[in-house]
Structure 1
Amino acid sequence: MKMRLSTVAAGFLLLAGIGAASAQDVIIEPEKETVIRGYVEKQPLASVKIPGVELNIGSTLPDTVELHEVPDVEYRYVIVDNQTVIVDPDTRKIVKIIR
């Protein structure tokens, strides 16, 4: 009985962890991504380097990095190492990297 209960508890914790991880995923609709790409092409920015920050989804950009607005889109962007990086302005976390 204890073995079965432990297995159920472990399964529940595993599923809870998966749910928490996917809740952090941000999905940008294709239409918004198209708007962002078009805006970035029309408003070219110089690429910046950010020492000590890995460009990964979920990485946080320091406050010293200037984020740029895209009209009618809730996210901001910056060009890092010649890649467009889409950022949640509230958390400064990277939500998408457009290569």
Structure 2
Amino acid sequence: MKLHLSSAAAAIVLMGGIGAALAENVIVVQPEQETVVREYIKREPLASVNLLGVELKLGSSVPDTVELREVPDVRYRVAVINHRTVLVDPDTRQIVEVLR
């Protein structure tokens, strides 16, 4: 019985560590930046790139074949993939926000 409790406790500690590591990497896009991006997209519409099998969620990688557009005063780049606007970290090409 003690072995099972120790294993469970170790699993909880490991999962807590993973959660803490993920929390450190959370990127928060400020509402002001979202507004700037939305206004930019209205002025400079982007064609949607259709990518089969790409899940548009936080942390997903955007292929190198997708052009990322720079938006003035915003750190992240923008692309429209499968008719959804996404903000992408230009250094990692990971999605940091999927705009609704």
Q: Counterparts of 1:57 and 1:16 in 2: how far apart (Å)? A: 20
* TM-score w.r.t. length of structure 1: 0.85
Alignment pair present for 1:57 and 2:49: no
Change over 3 Å in CA distance of 1:4–1:80 after alignment to 2: closer
Q: Counterparts of 2:38 and 2:54 in 1: how far apart (Å)? A: 23
Change over 3 Å in CA distance of 1:6–1:34 after alignment to 2: same
Letter in 2 for 1:92: R
1:23 is displaced (CA, Å) by 2.0
Aligned partner of 1:37 in structure 2 is 38
1:50 is displaced (CA, Å) by 1.4
* TM-score w.r.t. length of structure 2: 0.84
Which stretch shifts more, 65-74 or 1-10?
Answer: 1-10
Structure 2 gaps of 5+ residues are: none
Alignment: residue pair count: 99
Q: Alignment partner of 1:13: what SS?
A: helix
